[in-house]
A and B are shown apart, each in its own frame.
Chain A
Amino acid sequence: MKQFIQCIAENNQHQSTHLLKMLREIQDRYHYIPKDAIEQLSELLNIPRTQIISVVEFYSFFHLSPRGKYELLISDSITDHMLGKKNLLDYLAKILSVTVGEVREDGLVSLGNASCTGMCDQGPAGLVNGYALTRLDQPACDQIAALINQQKPLVEWPSELFQVDDNIYKSGLLLNQPYVQGAALRAMIDRGIKATLAEVDGSGLRGRGGAGFKTATKWKFCSEEPQTERYVVCNADEGEPGTFKDRVLLNSYTDQVFEGMAVCAAIIGARQGFLYLRGEYLHLHDKLERILEQRRQNGLLGTNIMGVGLDFDIEICLGAGAYICGEESALIESLEGKAGIPRNRPPYPVTQGYLGKPTVVNNVETFLAATGIAVNGGDWFASIGTEKSKGTKILSISGDCARPGIYEYPFGITVQTILNDCGAVDVLGIQVGGPSGTFISNQEFERKLAFEDLATGGSFIIFNSSRDILDMVNNFTHFFAHESCGFCTPCRVGTALLKKQLAKIVDGHGSAGDVVALEELCQLVKNHSHCGLGQTAANPILTTLERYPDLYHSRLKEISFEPGFDLDGALATARRLANRDDAGAHLAQTESEHE
């Protein structure tokens, strides 16, 4: 092992910014991060041991104790649940003789849950040693169990298990745009860099991650910073449950995304770019590297791009299972090899980003749009959409509809039109923009997708009338509690309390004051959390409570209070140890029952 670690450190020039990459290699080889490896790395990289441990503990794909040689994770997204995830997980646990969350005694296999793996249109999905599995069903599980028990290496597994489809059902301005490699860079060089920024400005393009900051403004701010070492980062940490468009864009529109980054780099004056790829999309990694290499060979990356003296290259960095790294400052921390804890803002990344240098972080779709705008000009883009939301939005549609997949629409489209297109009937409501977004009821289908009305990063999960809204709320609330980075108390403790208080009501232990208490807790978490995660973690509860108060109240008991846990059950251990079963050794669940 000593030699292996030494080798890894050397390959990464002893740079602690590459810590995640090194830990990935160690985790791959040993199925955990051994203590000795941490000691050795700490010396080789000259960083404290505790810093490495904090990183290992932060990311859900790293472990301090051994996982199975085959680590099987099943996606816990609500969309996977709607496709029968729970039964499947139980079935896998049974046929593999392994407890969920644990490693089988022989160390061959471990089974667990993963937050949404971005395969919502082809679930139930999972990951085996980091590689995406799709459309799991019982026969596929049988097959997987057999392959694991035979200890077949992953490369020998049938490729159908790993087949990931694009499922593009409706393409518009961006997805229909014909593309010639280098066309955007050529157009930019011909037009001039300043003029190209003006086109991006004129296009009205706003960030596609969801927040909607104006792209040209961000680029301009960054280019005006006095520091000359600047960076471009493509945020492909698509973790919002129900979102998977970036996976498709990176798979089939790769060149356009990279070229958008190069255009941005030329405008802001950056020589280095990063693609931060979520760990769940490991299956795309080699393809992306190949395309980067091809672009280098074609003179579109590297030194002296297109012979005009532009230098720019892109490095791919893989995440390790942390939703919070989609937040741009957390993403930058992660790029620097640290735990993904959001920074205080300001200073914003455009002034102090990667390694404290000015950095532009944009979504995959934003760079794709930038490529189109560089080729066709700002008017081409601005002619479509609404006043404040120009162009189109690429949606990831999943849940109860006939054709889940990718749809591109001009901004301003009504929800009803989308439902008609994807074949959704008997719809109860839709989660727009993922768990951190808004739940809309079937009274609101004339609303429009646009920053003016329903803003969205692209997630669109449809629920039909057979679904229980509180199941969904419960799933989302667990998701946030799991993904809280733990830095600030309102979010770390608050999301756990939300989970508990919601469970109390959902499980039927709630009484008069419990919904009010839940709402107060929501406001506290929302108003006092450090970053967007905590500020939106209560949205699933708040948006459904606003629309369906009766749903919550109907679960309440007609008494003033009941404990949210089994009071008598809490005495069971003591009864057994004291060998008692008299009346005094029992407690009634409520006072009235007691009297």
Chain B
Amino acid sequence: MEIPYISKSRPDTGLYNAKLGIWLFLASEVMLFGALFSTYVLLRVGAAQGTWPHHLLNIWLGATNTIVLIISSVTVVLSWAALKMNKWGTYKFTQAITILCSLIFLGIKSYEYRDKFSHYYIKLKDGKEMTGHIEGSPLLWNKAKLESLKITEFKFHPEAAHSEAAAKVAEGAKAPEAPAHAEQAAHAEHAAEVIKVEDIQQLHCFGPWHNTYLAIYFTLTGLHALHVIGGALVIFMIWGPLAGMWKTDPERYTNRVEVSGLFWHFVDLVWIFLFPVLYLL
């Protein structure tokens, strides 16, 4: 039995099966991301003035990733247009750039994640609080891990801005409103201090458990990154291993490129909203 409308459009809807399917799927994705965006907005609006720590992120890395995704959307649509015009070579080249862009995006995102997992908050037993980096930039340390590794002391590079803000908060004052260039200031570090493990009351990195902002940041960007990985894999499969279909059924192959392009555009559009919401506002 032959399945109808896998290449040709249904006369009533004007869509072929896969295009109808991807739009139904994208509608469910809108609900998923919409719920998370709403959560973020409610948390952001509910936070007391000057306490929302969005300055923890590197805006320039976020902006670079935005440019990379915009370029990838342009190349994905140009590759589909190339197939419509029977230009196989142009399709292969432009879609290769799309795959490359997805890898660059994931590389930059991984770097951002790594920076958060090697960025620490320490509270000492005397009440002193600090944020900064442990010498050697180890990842995901906490007090239990230090004890299991039998580390008794380590060198810590505290950050100027965060130490002062933490001290003010500890004194009961409101944390200062983060200026736009706070991210630079936050990374200006004091000289290294030797911290004894026995003096530590609390130690953890800036993972999702650090505060509400980072929890929603990792949830949103992690889910988005999973979509980027999925989309890039599908685009790669169509571009490489499944490219033989172009010779046997070019119309269906072009449709597959269009459907993967629709998903890719959705993923990029989510980022277009994520970037200002997480990094700027």
Do the two chains bind?
no
The interface of chain B, by Cβ under 8 A from chain A, is none
Give A residues with C-beta under 8 Å from B.
none
